[in-house]
Chains A and B, each alone.
Chain A
Amino acid sequence: MANIMYWEAIQRAHDEEMARDPLVICMGEDIGVAGGTYKATKGLYEKYGPLRVMDTPISEGGFTGLGIGASFLGVRPIIELMSVNFAWLAMDQMFNSAAKVRYMSGGQLTAPCVFRSAGGAAHQLGAQHSARMEKVFMGIAGLRVVTPSNPKQAYGLLKSAIRCDDPVFINEHELMYNMKGEVPDGEYFHPLEGSDIARAGTDVTLFGYNISVHWCLKAAEILDKQYGISAEVVDLYSLAPLDRAGIKASVSKTHRAVIAEEDEAPVGVGSEVIAIINEECFFELDAAPIRVHSALVPQPYNHTLEKAAIPDHEDVVKAVLKLFGKA
């Protein structure tokens, strides 16, 4: 096991897959000569050259469509959208072309592309650079959505996404690229579907994904030490499809649920998880599930307002205490 950073894990997956298959290419703004905004493609340009590591113009709609078109002929492009906020410009091609082409061609064409993007709110980047857009991607038929919460997932999910014949969107996090974690030394493929139990517990399930897994883990620690509540943390690294069986299994065990998301609440992961709980195991519930989520505002620049807009582990603790009638 190597202890490496999230960006290094992503870089390693790129490198291994590009070494294996000459049709794996990557493209995006400043990914080549500059090595990538978050270093996720560092050294690849030098190793694989400009034909396979493409520094693109600032033409998100154009280069995303170009990558998708190449994938029709079996190329496996890893398309980096520098920030998820810029993915808006690429969504037409992602949704209308990549996600639908298999279906509307009756299975003749496929778009085996990987779209990677830095999501989440970093610090004080303002309204147009702090979007969390999980909700947008996870509701599109024909598109898979995963979101790694640690280096092992970042590596293994990208490896699987490249091999998978479906288009996969990987939602990374701006604040997590330097996070360290254990990654297997040998080749490893993380399942694209399912969920991980990040911490086992018996009294309440804390559902998180990507950065909110870390709020949940921190909250579980506090709940255990200070309140004697045993929280299970379920890492929903796959947002499309969501792991119905995993959600059901955990809630059937703990009978209580809190869903923590960095996205805003309406039409989001939380509402979807609660719908699944209702459909799968409503009568297992001892209390109504609670969502912890961001305020429904364009992200403010001011740091105090920004902090107020985005939840953290303390909000998760508060939600659990409320669930137990302790607050």
Chain B
Amino acid sequence: MKIDDKKRVLREMVLHRRFEERCYQAYIERKIGGFLHLYPGQEACCNGVMEAARPGHDYVITGYRDHVHAIKCGADPKEVMAELYGKETGSSKGRGGSMHIFDAAKRFMGGYALVGGPFPLAAGIAKAIQLKGGDEIAICFLGDAANNQGVFHETLNMAALWKLPVLFVCENNLYGIGTSIERSTAVIHQHKRVAAYNIPADECDGQDIEVVYEHARKAVDHVRAGNGPFFLELMTYRYRGHSMSDSRGYRSREEEELWKQRDPIFILRDRLIKEGAITMAEFEAIEKETDAYIENEVIKFSEESPEPRVEDLEKYVLADRDTQLPWLTGKAA
């Protein structure tokens, strides 16, 4: 990665981290409801892959842990936060919530709450790209435990069979809620599971963004060149609980500490300091600026935005009726 890119990404990752921490606080303050799945610890995964891809051009789809993926694709953090606040200005107009951030203009095709649901959707997006003849690729970010859904295997088979331009990124954080991977899955290293479908696969450290980037570049190039799907497994860890009501009794504080020593932001920060690209004071300034931005713009926007109107409860259930009349009445000209 180029030095300027690394500096930019460091700043972005700080935003991603502070954004999520601020969500936590807002949830405690009851500004945010429902389920809330946070991303701290895994930032290098999304950032490393998307640095190798083309955010806003390539299509991205993921699960419920979706805020950072949306922002990385170009979604406005203000709109993402406003969505969590349930506001009309939110990325899904307050209808979706944390698990359902969408920004179609930025080609962020959404967060989905059913584990494994996005697999075939990603392949379908890739199918559309193939039909339309574009140079985009589809990228599907999901967790390790999602691979235990049957649809994972069904999708791999079809994607390989039809050489679809889709990159499957498995963020292996070793747990599916409170069940550790060795208790749920016969194979710990997920990339081994795709060998049966003749899909090339790779695994690497998911904490060091430069490592992720190098591996992702090969993966992205492979898919974009028309060689069909690729599966990239990133070994990572989520620092917080699965969702908000999680006391993390299923893992040890020692294990958590070990992973915290490999904090993706600190790894990049310390490398940049060592390379003389930034100073600690500059890093601290970035953190301060980020917090100020989140407070003064993101939170302010979310607080001040209006709620959806109750009269609009049924808006978006179906297409605008007036636009569909020829088909609804059979009176197509």
B partners with A: yes
CB distance from A87 to the nearest CB of B (A): 11
- The secondary-structure label for the interface of chain B is loop
Contacts of A308 in B (CB 8 A): 310, 313
Q: Which of A59, A85, A88 has the most CB of B within 10 A?
A: A59
User: A303–B94 Cα gap in the complex (Å)?
Assistant: 9
Complex: A301 Cα to B313 Cα, angstroms: 11
Contacts of B148 in A (CB 8 A): 57-59, 62
Within 8 A of A (CB), among B172-226: 176-179, 183-185
Q: Would you list which residues of chain A between 277 and 325 have a CB under 8 Å from chain B?
A: 295-298, 300-305, 308-309
> B201: shortest Cβ distance to chain A, in Å?
20
A78 to chain B, nearest CB (A): 18
Q: Residue B97 contacts which of A61, A295, A301 (CB distance < 8 angstroms)?
A: A301
Q: How far is the CB of A303 from chain B (nearest CB, A)?
A: 6
Which residues of chain A come closer than 8 Å to B185, judged between CB atoms?
Answer: 57
Contact B35 A125 (CB under 8 A): yes
Contact residues of B between 78 and 129, Cβ < 8 Å to A? 83, 86-87, 92, 94-100, 112-116
* Contact of A30 with B86 in the complex, beta carbons under 8 Å: no
B113 touches A129 (CB 8 A): yes
Which chain B residue has the least Cβ–Cβ distance from A86? B114
Closest to A37 in B: B177
Q: Does B33 contact A (CB under 8 A)?
A: yes
A34 near B177 with CB under 8 A, answer yes
Number of A-B residue pairs having CB atoms within 8 Å of each other in the complex: 122
Interface residues of A (CB under 8 A from B): 29-30, 33-34, 55-62, 85-86, 88-89, 123-129, 295-298, 300-305, 308-309
| Minimal beta-carbon separation of B103 from chain A (angstroms) | 16
Residues in B whose Cβ lies below 8 Å from that of A56:
184
Q: A305 is contacted by which of B34, B177, B183, B313 (Cβ under 8 Å)?
A: B313
Q: A125-B34, A297-B313 are in contact. List 9 more A-B contacts (CB 8 A).
A: A30-B179, A34-B178, A58-B184, A88-B114, A129-B34, A298-B95, A301-B33, A304-B307, A305-B312
In the bound assembly, the distance between CA atoms of A309 and B94 in angstroms comes to: 14
The answer to whether A300 touches B178, judged by C-beta atoms less than 8 angstroms apart, is no
Least CB distance from A124 to B in Å reads 3
Does B314 make an interface contact (CB < 8 A)?
Answer: yes
B317's contact among A89, A124, A297, by CB below 8 Å, is which?
A297
State which of A34, A59, A124 has its C-beta within 8 Å of the C-beta of B34: A124
Knowing A29-B179, A33-B178, A301-B86 touch, does A58 contact B313 (C-beta < 8 A)?
Answer: no
With A58-B145, A58-B176, A302-B308 as given contacts, are A33 and B183 in contact (CB-CB < 8 Å)? yes
Which of A55, A296, A298 touches B179 (beta carbons < 8 Å)?
A: A55
Q: Which residues of A contact B179 (CB under 8 A)?
A: 29-30, 33-34, 55
Question: Given that A33-B178, A123-B33, A126-B100 are known contacts, is A301 also in contact with B114, CB under 8 Å in the complex?
Answer: no
B178 closest partner in A (C-beta): A34
Q: At the interface, yes or no: B250 with Cβ under 8 Å from chain A?
A: yes
Which of B114, B307, B314 gathers most chain A CB within 10 Å? B114
20 contacts between A and B (CB under 8 A): A29-B176, A29-B177, A33-B178, A33-B179, A34-B250, A57-B145, A57-B148, A58-B116, A58-B145, A59-B148, A89-B114, A126-B96, A127-B96, A128-B114, A129-B99, A295-B314, A297-B314, A301-B100, A302-B87, A305-B312
What residues of chain A lie closer than 8 Å to B114, measured between beta carbons? 85-86, 88-89, 128
CA distance A298 to B315 in the complex (A): 11
A297 → chain B closest CB, angstroms = 5
Question: Please, which residue of chain B has its CB at the minimum distance from the CB of A61?
Answer: B150
A303-B33 contact in complex given A126-B96, A126-B97, C-beta closer than 8 Å: yes
User: Bound state CA distance, A301 and B100, in angstroms?
Assistant: 9
The residue that A301 contacts in the complex, of B96, B145, B176, B184, with Cβ under 8 A, is B96
A169 to chain B, nearest CB (A): 19
Nearest-neighbor residue (CB-CB) of B32 within chain A: A124
Shortest distance between the CB of A6 and any CB in chain B (Å):
17
Residues of A within 8 A of B92 (CB): 301
Known: A57-B184, A128-B99. A300 touches B150 (CB 8 A): no
Q: How far is the CA of A34 from the CA of B34 in the complex (A)?
A: 21
Contact A302 to B94, CB < 8 A, known contacts A59-B150, A89-B149, A129-B99: yes
**Contact residues in A for B177 (Cβ distance below 8 Å):** 29-30, 34
Residue of B nearest to A34 (CB): B178
A309 to B113, CA, bound (A): 20
Partner of B149, one of A59, A125, A127, A305: A59
Q: Which residue of A lies closest to B87 (CB)?
A: A302
Q: Which residues of A contact B97 (CB under 8 A)?
A: 124-126, 301-302
Tell me whether B112 and A305 are in contact (CB under 8 A). no
Within the complex, what minimum Cβ distance (angstroms) separates B118 from chain A? 12
Residues in chain A near residue B249, CB distance under 8 A: 34
Residues from chain B with a CB closer than 8 A to the CB of A298 are: 95, 317
